[in-house]
């Protein structure tokens, strides 16, 4: 096997299956807390909604943390690689334009976990949206503005 960076080795042989549910996570470059700014966090939310409107993936639950996001999706007419590349690229463009800055916003790659059909989706969605509570950013979930789930 060629000596590839770890993020590439993780995806060797990985097959993105339409109608499969995935938990996707990606971090900002150097874990910079860009999305502590609510307005910038809303730019991420806009891209999640755009991906759904385009029929790329159905958003089941998500949370935008200051330096990363978790996105529970049902993949539709797209590969994981294309979905994440397009989403991260459009978020970067919007953030850079908004802040009059240039350069990269994200660490390379992303983490994905394919869920088995028997996995408890509601339980996983609760775990995703409870991230701000576990991180100590808020005392009540309703106090954190950048999350959603179809079950709520």
User: Distances in Å between the alpha carbon of 74 and those of 69, 137, 150?
Assistant: 16, 28, 12
pLDDT tens profile 79-114: 999 999 999 999 999 999 999 999 999 999 999 999
DSSP-assigned letters across all residues of 112-133: EEEPPTTS-HHHHHHHHHTHHH
Q: Does the pLDDT of residue 67 top 90, yes or no?
A: yes
Looking at residues 10-24, what average pLDDT do you find?
Answer: 74
> What is the pLDDT at residue 2?
46
Residue 46: band (very low, low, confident or very high) from pLDDT cuts 50, 70, 90: very high
Instruction: Quote the pTM value.
Output: 0.88
The pLDDT assigned to 4 comes to 46
pLDDT of residue 81: 95
| Average pLDDT of the chain to the nearest whole number | 90
CA distance 117 to 111: 19
């Amino acid at each position: 096997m060629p000596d590839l960076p770890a993020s590439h080795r993780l995806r060797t042989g990985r097959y993105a299956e339409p109608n499969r549910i995935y938990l996707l996570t990606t971090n900002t470059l150097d874990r910079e807390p860009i999305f502590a700014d609510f307005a910038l966090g809303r730019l991420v939310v806009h891209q999640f909604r755009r991906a759904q409107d385009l029929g790329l993936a159905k958003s089941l639950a998500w949370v935008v943390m200051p330096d990363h996001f978790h996105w529970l999706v049902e993949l539709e007419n797209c590969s994981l690689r294309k979905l994440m590349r397009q989403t991260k690229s459009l978020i970067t463009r919007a953030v850079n334009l908004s802040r009059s800055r240039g350069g990269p916003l994200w660490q390379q790659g992303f983490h994905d976990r394919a869920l088995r059909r028997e996995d408890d989706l509601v339980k996983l969605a609760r775990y995703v949206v409870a991230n701000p509570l576990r991180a100590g950013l808020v005392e009540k979930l309703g106090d954190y503005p950048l999350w959603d789930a179809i079950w709520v």
